[in-house]
């Protein structure tokens, strides 16, 4: 099912991006989850330049080649950095507000849902960054995710995706892990965002450890490579069709 159109009245992140773009500053972008205390996304971070990016993202941008699809591109920071490196990127996002901002920033952007079966272009590199596994939502959707990569990644190309192993959230002081193995996968979070008086709907956002990702990749005809690990249970993976 397509998430489009994401209406402006239900798009807090798009509103935050739009306001930061037009005014140079923004209010708090609040994040709620049934699993955690309220948190906040610093809106300026969505406008980060190459130098301010985490190491994993820099590596992904260096590796990206040929025609590049920036999935869930937000304010377009990765597409802009790629342009500055002389690389060709197309950005998609389900937020029309974010897409408008990206276009005003010179990005080749359009409103599209990664899971929309009518979106059938092919790219040498598909980028999914800032916990790019998030859009998978829940582990049960992972087959659909790989089906889409089969369409979007040109043979010989790859998808570059970052994620984190959230097990540290469940670690006890003695180093053991309090994870309920019979329950839902521990990286399945639900989120809801709010910007000023604009509150979005609740959505699922998946964090997946490398081993679990590898298992499902293989089941779905993909080979996964651990490109680099970050400083805190995070990593960048390259997914290639077998």
164 CB-near residues (< 8 Å, 6+ apart) = 131, 187, 207, 209, 230, 232, 233, 234, 235
- Burial of 63 by CB count in 10 Å (0-12 exposed, 13-18 middle, 19+ buried)? middle
Q: At what angle do helices 12-23 and 96-104 cross, to 10 degrees?
A: 20
16 binds ligand SAH (CB under 6 A): no
Size of the site for ligand SAH (CB under 6 A): 19
Q: Residue 224: what are its φ and ψ, rounded to 5°?
A: -120, 135
Chosen residue from 46, 160, 193, 237 binding ligand SAH by CB under 6 A? 46
125 binds ligand SAH (CB under 6 A): no
206 binds ligand SAH (CB under 6 A): no
Return the residues of window 134-153 that contact ligand SAH according to CB under 6 A.
135
Q: How far is the CB of 178 from ligand SAH (least distance, A)?
A: 29
- State which residue, 113 or 165, has the beta carbon closest to ligand SAH: 113
Chosen residue from 73, 109, 161, 224 binding ligand SAH by CB under 6 A? 73
Q: Residue 137: what are its φ and ψ, rounded to 5°?
A: 80, -70
Q: How far is the CB of 131 from ligand SAH (least distance, A)?
A: 8
DSSP for residue 133:
G
Q: How far is the CB of 171 from ligand SAH (least distance, A)?
A: 26
DSSP for residue 230:
-
- State which residue, 122 or 211, has the beta carbon closest to ligand SAH: 122
**In contact, 152 and 69? CB cutoff 8 Å:** yes
18 binds ligand SAH (CB under 6 A): no
Structure tokens at 187: 């990286």
Q: Which helix (H) or strand (E) holds 23?
A: helix 12-23
Contact track, ligand SAH, 89-108, x by CB under 6 A: ---xxxx--x----------
Footprint on this chain of ligand SAH (rule: CB under 6 A): 3, 13, 46, 71-74, 77, 92-95, 98, 113-115, 129-130, 135
């Amino acid at each position: 099912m397509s998430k489009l159109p994401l209406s402006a009245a239900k798009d807090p992140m798009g509103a935050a991006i739009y306001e930061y773009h037009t005014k140079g500053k923004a209010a708090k972008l609040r994040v709620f989850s049934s699993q955690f205390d309220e948190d906040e996304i610093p809106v300026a971070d969505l406008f980060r330049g190459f130098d301010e990016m985490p190491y994993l993202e820099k590596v992904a941008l260096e590796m990206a080649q040929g025609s590049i699809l920036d999935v869930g591109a937000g304010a377009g920071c990765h597409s802009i950095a790629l342009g500055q490196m002389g690389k060709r990127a197309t950005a998609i996002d389900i937020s029309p507000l974010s897409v408008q901002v990206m276009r005003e920033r010179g990005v080749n952007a359009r409103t599209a849902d990664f899971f929309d079966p009518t979106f059938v272009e092919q790219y040498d590199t598909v980028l999914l960054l800032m916990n790019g596994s998030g859009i998978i939502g829940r582990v049960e959707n992972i087959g659909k995710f790989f089906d889409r990569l089969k369409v979007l990644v040109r043979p010989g190309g790859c998808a570059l995706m970052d994620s984190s192993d959230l097990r540290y959230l469940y670690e006890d002081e003695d180093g053991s892990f309090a994870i309920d193995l019979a329950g839902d996968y521990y990286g399945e979070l639900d989120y809801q965002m709010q910007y000023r008086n604009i509150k979005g709907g609740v959505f699922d956002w998946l964090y997946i450890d490398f081993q679990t990702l590898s298992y499902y990749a293989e089941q779905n005809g993909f080979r996964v490579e651990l490109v680099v690990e970050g400083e805190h249970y995070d990593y960048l993976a390259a997914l290639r069709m077998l």
